Each structure stands twice: as C-alpha cells, then as structure tokens.
C-alpha cells in the first residue's frame, strides 16, 4: 500500500512539477519580452499573494490549536451512523448488498413479487 | 418542527431526524425532470441526424427544447436529487433535524414551481408573447434568458434566488447547532449553500442588467463554471464523503487529505470561469490566469480521488457485490477522466481545435451524467429501499439500469470527443461548412443510440421503482424488515 | 478558522468567491468602462448597410411589412432589431451558432476580421451572444452574405436552400408560406443582416482588401 502510494505520488508529482516549471519559465520569458508581459503575469502574482495570505491564516489556525485531532470527525460520523442504523426499522444491507457472481441476464418482467426473494442473498453474505 | 432541546442529539432516532416522505418526493420529482430532459435531448439528437418526426411544430422546436434539456438536468434533476439526498444526509450527519419540516415542504413546492415555470417559459413564452403586440412591447422576454445554463426566464430569477436562500437557511440550522469539529461533508454543504446563492445571483443578474459585451462574457464564463464547480461539485463530493464510508463501514482514508481537497477546490475553482471563452476579446492575461487555475484545480481533484481509492483499498470486492458503491466508483473513475480531459482541453493549444465542437458536448455529458447523475442514481438505489422499507423488486433491473447508463454515457462521451476532433480539423482545413456537417452525421447517429441506451436504463429504473413501490404498499416485506438476528455483512 | 463554521462560510464561501469575482469578473468591466455602450437606437441610426436590407424587406414583402412595421424608419428598424435579438435568444439560435471569430484555426480566412471588444459594446449584446457550439456557421459576419429571400426560405425550411442542413424549420416566423414573413420573421432576418454590417469589410469580409486611398494631406 505504502509503496504504491509512493509510486503514485511520484508519478503525479514529477510530471506536474515539470509542467509547472516550464510554464513558470515561459512566464519569465514573457515578462522579459515586452510591455504586455507585465500584464500577463499579474493574475499569477495575484493568486500567489492571495494564497500567501491564506497560508498565514492557516498557520495562525494551527498555532491556535486547530487540527490537533484532524481525523476525529470521520470516526464520530461513522459511529453516529451505525447507531442510527441499528435502531432503524431496516436491515443494514438493504439496497446495497447482493451476492457475488450474479450473472447479468434479461430481467423477467411481470413476475409476482415474492417478498422473500432476497433472503438467500443475505444469508450467504454473513 | 421538532424541538432539538427536547430530543438530546445522542438519543435521536432516524424518525426524529429525517422526514422520509420529502426525500421520496424530491427523488420522484428529480426522476420526472430527468425523463423530460432526456426526451428533450432525444429530440435534439434526432434533429441533428434529420430524423425529427415532429418538424416544424412551434411548441416542439428543438432550439427551445435544447434549453429545456440542460435546464431540466441542472435545476430539475440534479438540484431536486441533491435536495432529497441532503434531507437524508444532513440531519443524520449532524444528529439534528432541519429547521422546519413545513419550510422543507414549502421549498419543495416552490422549487417545482420554479423549474416548471422555467420549462414553460422557455417553451411557451415566446409563442405567448407573439400573440399580442402589447406583450411584445414589454421590456422583458417571456422566453429564455441569453445566459448559458441560466436560460431561466428573467421573470423567474428572483423566485429561484429566494428559494436558494431558504434552502440555505433550512439546512444551516442543523449544521450550525452541531458541536465539535465538523466532518468534511458538512464543510462542502455549508460552502455550497453560500456559493450557489452567490453564483446564481451573479450569473443571472449582472450580465442582464449591469454589464455588456466582453465583460458580460467574463461573468458568464464564471457563472457557467461556478454552477458546475460551486453548486454541483461540492454537493456531489459532500454526499460521496458521507455515503461511501457508511456503505463500506469504514472511515474515509484520510480526513486531513480531504481538507486539502476542500480548501483547494474553494480557492481555485472560482478562478476558472474564463477558460470557457478562450481566444475571445476578454483580456489575454485573464485567460492565462484561468488556465493556470484550472490546471491547479485538477491536481487538487486528484487528492480527492486518491483519498476515495485509499478508502476502498482492501474492500475491492464491494465493487461487485455492492451496487451503490459500484455506481459511486464508476462515477469517480469518470470524474478522474473528466479532470484529466479538463486540464488538457483548457490549454490554448487544444482550444484552437476543439472549441465550439462536439468535444465540449461530450465533456458536458461526461460530467453531468457520467459523474453526478451516476452518483445520484447510486444514492437513489441505496435509499429507496430504506425509504419504502422493502428491497428492490428486481436485482436484474438494477443491474440493467447501471450497465445501460454507464456504458451509454461512456459511448456518448467517446463518440462526441472523436466527433469534436474531426469537426475542429474540418473547420481548420477551410473546406466548405457542409463537409463538416456531413462528416459529423455518423457520430451523431452513434450518439442517438448511446442516448437511447441511457434512456432505456432509466426506463428499467422507473419500472423497477414502480414495482418496488407496489410491493412496499403491501407493507414491509419480511426480508426487508428487521429480523432479530442480523447477519452482518463484513 | 479552518475548523470553525464561520471560517468555512466567510473564507471559503464568501471570501474566495469574492476574490475570484474581483480578479476575474470586475477587471474586464473596469478595463472597458470607458467604451460607451450603444443603445439600439444608436445602432439603427447610422447604419446604411442595415437600412438598405430593411428597406429591401419592405420592397420584397410589402403587405407583410406594412402590416407589421409600417414604413422603414430608424424607429421601426430599432424595433425590429430588438425583437430580432429577443427571438434569436428565445429560439435558442445561439446554442448552435456562435458570434465570435477567433484569431486561431484560420478563422479569419473563413469568416472575416477577428472579433474585437468594441463590436460587443451595445445593448444587443446584453447578455453577450458569444455562443457555445457551432453546429451551423458563425454568424458574426453573416450580414449581407445572403439576400433576404434566401433567409426567408432558409428559416421556413433550411433544406430548401441548403441540402442536408440539420437546422430546424421555423414556419412560425411566417404566415403560412416563405414569402409571408410575419413580425418575428422580419425581425429575425433584420437581426441576422445586422451582424457584421458595422464593419468596413461588409459584406466581402474574408476577401476584403482595403483600397489604398490617396493621402488626404496632399
């Protein structure tokens, strides 16, 4: 898992850094080129300044004790959900779990609705 | 309204939190508009291959129904389905009900009036206005407004805006009452309520009343893009962050990484709009800035996709056995494809060829249907059995719904992308215009059949839904109602 | 700030949106604030190319023209332009026809001069009709390319004059036959004839070569 993550990270980072690098050099060339060049880089400077301000806010937030436990909400959310579902009037698998290896076939329309027709699926799933 | 003080949040039950009938109502309204939209799209597709059997009828003009097609999808299908899913997700996420259930129903009715009037205005408006010279003298049009994705007639815009404000108020109540650090889904929802309101106001009023020409074009570009990026995308991802972990029964891979995705989207997405109008008289430095921001947003998007694939890592089998999960992850793969395409197609190099061609149409279908509609249909597949307390009538129909939709939209996307390349090169070659039209016809034929496949998929869903509803009316089926021992799916 | 609700609402929701609007939406508006926005009356008043087409309509369809517009004048021309633009939007013409010529892909060789900002600085481009897709040709240099009769037949049934055209028929612009355009029919033809009529190169846009005039100083 970790190794794959590294491969993916490098696979994404290297080409994108290369892309940004060449774009950046292009912009420098443009800037040096003519009078219009200064205009061309103004949005980039604009975005850099805005993200710098954002970064300062972020650092301020970290220093003020936010993000101490950044992963906590994802567990709380899951616990809440599971508790709600255990009290709910349906089975947790409803609408999502089906047996593996089910072959796709033409649906048989108009067949009578047997309320128990899915029971086997659940019992195999355990 | 349920007093939240009376029910301590930790003891809240599903019945206290979620108003099931309104979720059902939103979903059914959404599906009705999906059918309207698909029929309108079919009409336009038939027109392009000269097979339109309803030629020359004013109220069935393909030009007008083309606008109904996009508006019914954006405001009829996506907005309704999102609202339905939010009425389920937000109360359960925050353990608190919405502000007021009566307000929810009022918004529901008002929103159907808004979307219905939009369709009616676009289709009947121009005909009605032409009937009396006095009406033609009026300073506003009964019919469509000239803003792409904002064709909602000008006389409905204020009502729609008021509706969006009420939606925000109704849902912000539970979120603002929730304690502690919020889960990432809530962040997306909160931001989306603000963004949708601002985007709608900006796009529908500024180019109409205050700005002209090129500057109106710049705002129009922001509007088109923000509607996808700041209304549809945050709600879509927010719902994914909610539904994927609860279905896989494990937390999202990294909550920290998801915050990178959120803040990156929030910063870069609004800066993208002008990339819709490259090579226009809009100042070139703004066009370049939009391109840079677009490429930046695609990188942010990949952190989100990595996060979701990190979550399903080790549960890959769920892709086969768990139908909603399969809908979601198919949508995510197509989302990755969309974003890859986005980073390429917004560059000036690609734009020189593909702008104004069917490539763009293919891209739009991939985003709106291939990603967000697949997610919402997956959510419906998951929620209808819960809402009606009975299993789906037919598993096979669910499968057909999935495969026809997914394969149909992929074929349409591939076909139109290729068509766009052909068209771009036909135009650049300076051969007569007819050559490019004749060359497109085979692609348009394929598109008709891809669209019919998607339509057939939705028919399977509708029939399945009808039979499931009939079964549910007989009372909760024993297999769906909760028995004493629950065989836990691992 | 970043974990608090007000932070999300104010920084992400409001702040970033406003930042983007200021840097992308307001900048062009400020840059072009000195370009005057022309009203429809101004557009109609000093455009002899367009007035010629409008009068031509009144000769070709005298009864229809008299019935719906009376006599050709600057006022009736402005009225027709306004209704024409409204019809162009309401019928969704702009979803299959663009109105801008790009400086790439040899578009100036196909259509004529590349579009400029000042061409769009008028009330008939509010909201602007750049367009989104070209199923049919670009229309920003369409004025004067075809005669009014061609347009009437084309709107009535496009395949009459352009075999294999996928454009929908618009018989509701006519009182029953292509030689009887009604109020909307005359308006939409006038609007299409307006497009590009302000250019010096009208109507030979792409083949136009400016004539070397003798120097005024001599």
* Residue in the structure block whose two tokens are 């618009």: C170
The yes-or-no verdict on residue A101 having pLDDT over 80 is: no
Average pLDDT score over chain B? 91
Whether residue A60 and residue C1 make contact (CB cut-off 8 A), yes or no, is: yes
Determine the average pLDDT of the residues in A22-49: 73
Question: Distance (Å) from the C-alpha of residue B215 to the closest C-alpha of chain C?
Answer: 5
- Residues B52-81 as b/e (b if ≥16 CB within 10 A, e otherwise) read beebeebebbbbbbbbbbbbbbbbbbbbbb
Closest chain A residue by Cα to residue C19 = A50
Task: List all residues of chain A from 45 to 74 with a beta carbon under 8 Å from chain B.
Answer: 46-47, 50-51, 54, 66-67, 69-74
Determine if the peptide bond prior to C203 is cis (ω within 30°). Answer: yes
| Angle of CA points B226, B48, B425, to nearest 5° | 75
User: Which residues on chain A are in Cβ contact (under 8 Å) with B288?
Assistant: 40, 43
Chain A interface with C: residues with Cβ < 8 Å = 43, 46-47, 50, 54, 57-58, 60-61, 64, 66-67
Position B121 confidence tier, pLDDT thresholds 50, 70, 90: very high
Q: At B101, is the pLDDT very low, low, confident or very high (cuts 50, 70, 90)? A: very high
Burial of C11 (0-12, 13-18, 19+ CB in 10 A): buried
Chain Cα centroid distance, residue C217: 37
Q: Which uninterrupted H or E stretch holds B469?
A: helix B433-473
- Would you state the structure tokens that stand for residue A63, as one six-digit string? 């220093």
Mean pLDDT of B170-176: 94
Write out chain C residues lying below 8 Å of A67, CB-based: 2-3
pLDDT at A112: 44
Least confident of A62-71, B25-34, C92-101: A62-71
Closest CA to B319 of B311, B308, B310, B327: B327
Asked if residue B249 lies in contact with residue C88, where contact means CB atoms within 8 angstroms, the answer is no
CA-CA distance, A61 to C33, in Å (whole number)? 40
Whether the CB of A6 is below 8 Å from some CB of chain B: the reply is no
Which chains border C (3 or more CB–CB pairs < 8 Å)? A, B
pLDDT at residue number A38: 66
- Confidence (pLDDT) at C2: 65
Report the pLDDT value the prediction gives residue B133, as an integer from 0 to 100. Answer: 87
CB contact under 8 A, C24 and B62: no
Partnered with residue C38 across adjacent β-strands are: C122
Cβ atoms of B307 and B274 within 8 Å: the answer is: no
The band of B480, judged by pLDDT with boundaries at 50, 70 and 90, is very low
* Tokens standing for residue B56: 């020359």
Tell me if chain A has a CB within 8 Å of the CB of B47. Answer: no
- What is the H or E stretch that residue C19 is in? helix C16-20
**Best interface-test mutation with A: which of C1, C11, C22 has the largest number of A CBs within 10 A?**
C1
Cα separation, B457 vs B404, whole angstroms? 5
The answer, yes or no, to whether residue A33 has pLDDT greater than 80, is no
Q: Does the ipTM surpass 0.90?
A: yes
- Asked if the Cβ–Cβ distance from A90 to B481 is below 8 Å, we say yes
Gap from B260 CA to chain A (nearest CA, Å): 11
Tell whether C197 is within 8 A of chain B (Cβ): no
Q: What is the mean pLDDT of residues B114-122?
A: 96
Kindly provide the b/e burial profile for residues B99-116, where b requires at least 16 CB atoms within 10 angstroms of the residue's own CB.
Answer: bebebbeebbebbbebbe
pLDDT of amino acid C11? 85
Residues from chain B that touch C206, judged by Cβ atoms under 8 A, are none
| Chain A with chain C: Cβ pairs closer than 8 A | 22
Residues ≥6 apart with Cβ < 8 Å to B151: B67, B70, B71, B118, B122, B144, B145
For residues B18-23, average pLDDT: 94
Over residues B288-311, the pLDDT tens digits come to: 889 889 988 988 888 999 999 999
What pLDDT band is residue B189 in, cutting at 50, 70 and 90?
A: very high
Contact predicate A40/B285, CB 8 Å: yes
How crowded is the C-beta side of B188, counted as CA atoms within 13 Å? 29
Report the largest interatomic distance among the alpha carbons of chain A, rounded to a whole angstrom: 78
Distance from CA of B298 to the nearest CA of A (A): 10
Which two structure tokens, joined as six digits, stand for B461?
């869903």
Which of C2, C19, C23 comes nearest A58 by C-beta? C2
Mean pLDDT for C52-77 is 95
**Minimum-distance CB partner of C109 among B47, B130, B430:** B430
Contacts of A125 in chain B (CB under 8 A): 321, 487, 489
Beta-carbon contacts below 8 Å between A and B = 194
Say how far apart CA B61 and CA B54 lie, in whole Å. Answer: 9
CB < 8 Å from C in window 112-171 of B? 122, 125-127, 130, 136, 141, 143-148
Say yes or no for a CB contact (<8 Å) between B64 and C91.
yes
* Per-residue pLDDT tens digits for C112-123: 999 999 999 999
- Of A98-107, A117-126, C151-160, the range with the lowest mean pLDDT is A117-126
Judge: C7–A61 Cβ closer than 8 Å, yes or no.
yes
**In this structure, are residues B328 and B283 in contact, taking their beta carbons and an 8 Å threshold?**
no
- Checking if the pLDDT of A67 tops 90, the result is no
DSSP at B78 = I
Cα–Cα distance for residue pair C169/C154, rounded to 1 Å:
8
- C-alpha to C-alpha distance for B34 and B369, rounded to whole angstroms: 10
Residue matched to tokens 């292009």: A26
Among residues A88, C139, C115, the alpha carbon closest in space to that of B281 is found at C115
* Residue C208 phi, psi dihedral angles, 5° rounding: -70, 135
pLDDT tens per residue across span B448-457: 999 999 999 9
User: Mind listing the pLDDT tens digit for each residue in B336-376?
Assistant: 999 989 888 998 999 999 999 999 999 999 999 999 999 99
> What average pLDDT does the structure give for chain C?
92
Residues of chain A found within 8 Å of residue B463, distances taken between Cβ atoms: 109
Q: In 3D, which of B271, B455, B63, B454 has the Cα closest to residue C133?
A: B63
Neighboring chain B residues of A59 at a CB cutoff of 8 Å: none
> Using 50, 70 and 90 to split pLDDT, how confident is the model at C216?
low
Mean pLDDT to the nearest integer, A42-69: 80
Chains that touch A (3 or more CB pairs under 8 A): B, C
pLDDT of amino acid A47:
82
Contact residues, B window 419-438, toward C, CB-based 8 Å cutoff: 423-424, 427-428, 430, 433-434, 437-438
Q: Do A66 and C11 touch (CB under 8 A)?
A: no
CB B193 within 8 A of CB B167: yes
Q: Which two tokens stand for residue C12?
A: 């992400």
Give the three-class secondary structure for C181: strand
What percent of chain B has a predicted confidence (pLDDT) above 90? 77
Residue B421, pLDDT above cutoff 90:
yes
B406: which 2 tokens?
Answer: 């997914």
Instruction: Check if the beta carbon of residue B487 is closer than 8 Å to that of residue A122.
Output: yes
Reply yes or no on whether the pLDDT at C179 is more than 90. Answer: yes
């Amino acid at each position: 898992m970790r190794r794959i993550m590294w491969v993916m990270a490098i696979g994404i980072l290297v080409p994108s850094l290369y892309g940004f690098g060449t774009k950046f050099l292009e912009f420098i060339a443009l800037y040096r080129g003519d009078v219009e060049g200064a205009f061309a880089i103004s949005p980039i400077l604009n975005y850099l300044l805005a993200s710098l301000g954002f970064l300062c806010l972020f650092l301020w937030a970290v220093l003020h004790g936010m993000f101490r436990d950044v992963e906590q909400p994802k567990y709380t959310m899951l616990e809440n959900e599971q508790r709600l579902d255990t009290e709910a009037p349906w089975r947790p698998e409803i609408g999502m779990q089906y047996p593996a290896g089910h072959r796709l076939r033409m649906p048989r329309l108009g067949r009578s609705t047997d309320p128990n027709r899915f029971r086997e699926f659940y019992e195999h799933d355990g | 309204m349920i007093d939240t003080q009376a029910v301590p949040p930790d003891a809240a039950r599903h019945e206290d939190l979620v108003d099931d009938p309104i979720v059902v109502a939103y979903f059914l309204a959404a599906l009705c508009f999906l059918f309207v939209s698909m029929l309108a799209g079919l009409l336009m597709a038939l027109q392009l291959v000269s097979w339109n059997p309803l030629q020359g009828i004013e109220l069935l003009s393909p030009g007008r129904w083309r606008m109904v097609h996009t508006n019914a999808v954006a405001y009829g299908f996506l907005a309704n389905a999102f609202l339905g899913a939010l009425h389920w997700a937000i109360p359960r996420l925050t353990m608190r009900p919405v502000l007021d259930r009566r307000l929810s129903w009022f918004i529901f009715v008002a929103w159907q009036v808004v979307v219905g009037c939009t369709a009616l205005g676009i289709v009947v408006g121009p005909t009605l206005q032409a009937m009396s010279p006095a009406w033609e003298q009026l300073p506003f049009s009964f019919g469509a407004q000239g803003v792409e994705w904002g064709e909602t007639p000008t006389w409905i815009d204020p009502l729609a805006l008021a509706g969006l404000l009420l939606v925000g108020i109704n849902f912000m109540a539970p979120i603002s009452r929730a304690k502690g650090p919020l889960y990432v889904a809530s962040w997306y929802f909160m931001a989306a309520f603000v963004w949708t309101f601002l985007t709608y106001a900006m796009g529908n009023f500024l180019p109409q009343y205050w700005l002209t020409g090129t500057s109106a074009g710049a705002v129009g570009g922001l509007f088109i893009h923000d509607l996808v990026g700041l209304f549809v995308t945050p709600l879509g991802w927010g719902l994914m962050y909610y539904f994927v972990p609860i279905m896989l029964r494990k937390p999202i891979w990294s909550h920290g990484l998801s915050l990178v995705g959120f803040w990156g989207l929030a910063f870069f997405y609004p800066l993208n709009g002008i990339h819709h109008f490259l090579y226009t008289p809009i100042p070139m430095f703004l066009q370049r800035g939009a391109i840079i921001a677009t490429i930046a947003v695609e990188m942010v998007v990949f952190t989100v996709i990595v996060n979701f694939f990190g979550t399903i890592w080790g549960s890959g089998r769920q892709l086969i056995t768990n139908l909603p999960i399969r809908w979601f992850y198919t949508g995510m793969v197509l989302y990755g494809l969309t974003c890859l395409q986005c980073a390429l197609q917004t560059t000036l190099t690609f734009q020189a060829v593909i702008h104004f061609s069917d490539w763009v149409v293919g891209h739009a279908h991939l985003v709106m249907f291939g990603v967000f509609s697949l997610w919402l249909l997956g959510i419906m597949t998951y929620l209808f059995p819960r809402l009606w307390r009975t299993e789906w009538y037919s598993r096979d129909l669910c499968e057909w719904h999935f495969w026809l939709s997914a394969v149909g939209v992929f074929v349409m996307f591939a076909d139109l992308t290729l068509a766009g390349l052909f068209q771009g090169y036909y135009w650049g070659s300076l051969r007569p215009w007819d050559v490019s039209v004749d060359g497109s016809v085979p692609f348009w034929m394929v598109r008709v059949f891809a669209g019919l496949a998607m339509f057939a998929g939705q028919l399977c869903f509708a029939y399945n839904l009808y039979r499931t509803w009939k079964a549910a009316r007989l009372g909760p089926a024993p297999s769906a109602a909760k028995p004493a021992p629950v065989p836990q799916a691992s | 700030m970043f974990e608090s609700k007000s932070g999300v609402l104010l920084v992400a929701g409001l702040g970033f949106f406003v930042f983007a609007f200021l840097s992308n939406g307001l900048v062009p508006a400020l840059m072009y604030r000195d370009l005057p926005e022309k009203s429809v009356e101004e557009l109609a008043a000093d455009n002899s190319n367009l007035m010629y087409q409008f009068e031509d309509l009144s000769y070709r369809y005298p009864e229809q023209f008299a019935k719906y517009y009376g006599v050709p004048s600057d006022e009736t021309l402005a009225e027709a332009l306004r209704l024409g633009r409204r019809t162009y939007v309401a019928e969704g013409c702009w979803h299959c026809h663009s109105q801008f010529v790009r400086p790439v892909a040899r578009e100036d060789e196909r259509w004529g001069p590349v579009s400029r900002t000042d061409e769009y600085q008028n009330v008939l481009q509010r909201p602007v009709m750049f367009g989104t897709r070209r199923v049919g040709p670009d229309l920003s240099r369409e004025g004067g390319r075809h005669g009014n009769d061609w347009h009437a037949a084309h709107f009535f049934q496009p395949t009459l004059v352009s075999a294999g055209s996928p454009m929908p028929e618009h018989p509701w612009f006519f009182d029953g036959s292509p030689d009887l355009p009604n109020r909307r029919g005359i308006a939409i033809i006038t609007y299409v004839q307006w497009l590009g009529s302000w250019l010096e190169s009208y109507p030979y846009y792409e083949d136009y070569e400016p004539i070397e005039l003798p120097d005024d100083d001599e």
